[in-house]
Amino acid sequence: MTNLEGRTMRRITLLLISLVLLTFVCAPAYGQSTSDTQVLKVRTDLVNIDALVKQKQTGRIISNLSKDDFTVFEDGIQQTISYFSQEKLPVSIVLLVDRAGCINAFNDQIRAATIKAFSQLKAEDEVAIMTFSNKVSLAQPFTRDRQLIADKIMAVEKQHSSEQHYFNAGMYEAATYMSKAANPAGRRAIIVLTSLEASIDFSKISEKEALEAVLESGAVVSGVLVKTVGGRIEQGIRGKPTSILRHIGLRSGSLKMFVTETGGELISAEPEKMEATLTRMVNHLSMSYSLAYLPTNSARDGKRRKISVQLSPEVEKREGKTVLITRRSYIMPKDAAPGTGTN
């Protein structure tokens, strides 16, 4: 064997040894990657809950509670709270403005009040603007630019007095758009400005479909009803009969239902009190407690699950009668069927 051949054989041998060593060195890394993926999947199953606690008589926010003051049940089974905080997390807000009916829920006075309220948001908070009547439109995608938000609020389309209040379509589109939020770890809220809390709804989206979309988005729905004489008349004509319509099978949409199911607030306010009302509502979003738990029912079945949050009796002994505002349910994500995953 020549020297050249010997050197060549040694190089080949060293290369083979290096490949073998590389295989053993890389094997734990691949295993760790799989583990990381599994951990990430578990983390995405955490159920996040916002809870606002108020003193019943005064409306004062109670801000001195601890994790031990809360108990969470899912479908009647107590859960272990693994995360608790009252930090002011970033907020992603979809402002959903009703442009239907004979009452203008967004006149110049209310627009100015909305701009003032949103000017109090933190720099990392973001706002999108949508309108609804017989159709739903995106007036402004999510942005943190306060001047752009103000400009778009003033430019929101005029009222469509001959059109209907399609709450279900509005909620569905707002919830679907919430996936564009840039604050994945923050709070999500849909704030509705309207003159009605319920209405006939002949849109293509059912109330059930809209609620499922809202629950899947993780958003809290809050509503501000413009309190005027005309608004009360329209509520009597359009809103009150919806409970009867449900019994005879006609479609209807209820803002109150969305608010109740997601743990938001529904407030009536005169136009001249709108600034204080909206500012208080926005502040409440950032003052809520954040709780999270890993459900004991780990099945990713796409089903709706009931949530019940209770306060320790010690809280009312210290604070008096309280009001706890939080969501009532959520939808567990469903695993994709075999063969339907993306590459």
Q: Which residues pair with 326 in a beta bridge?
A: 51
The band of 121, judged by pLDDT with boundaries at 50, 70 and 90, is: very high
Provide the pairing of β-strand 304-311 with 329-331: antiparallel
- For the segment 202-224, the average pLDDT, to the nearest whole number, is 93
pTM value? 0.79
Question: b/e map of 25-37 (b: 16 or more CB within 10 Å)?
Answer: eeeeeeeeeeeee
The band of 35, judged by pLDDT with boundaries at 50, 70 and 90, is: very low
**What pLDDT shows up at residue 216?**
92
pLDDT of 9 strictly over 50: no
The band of 184, judged by pLDDT with boundaries at 50, 70 and 90, is: confident
The matching CATH number, chosen from 3.40.50.300, 3.40.50.410, 3.30.160.270, 3.30.565.10, for 91-287 is: 3.40.50.410
Give 272's contacts (C-beta < 8 A, 6+ positions apart). 109
What are the residue boundaries of the structural domains of the chain, listed by start?
A: 45-86+288-331, 91-287
Find out if CATH 1.10.287 is the number for domain 45-86+288-331: no
CB atoms within 10 A of CB 46: 12
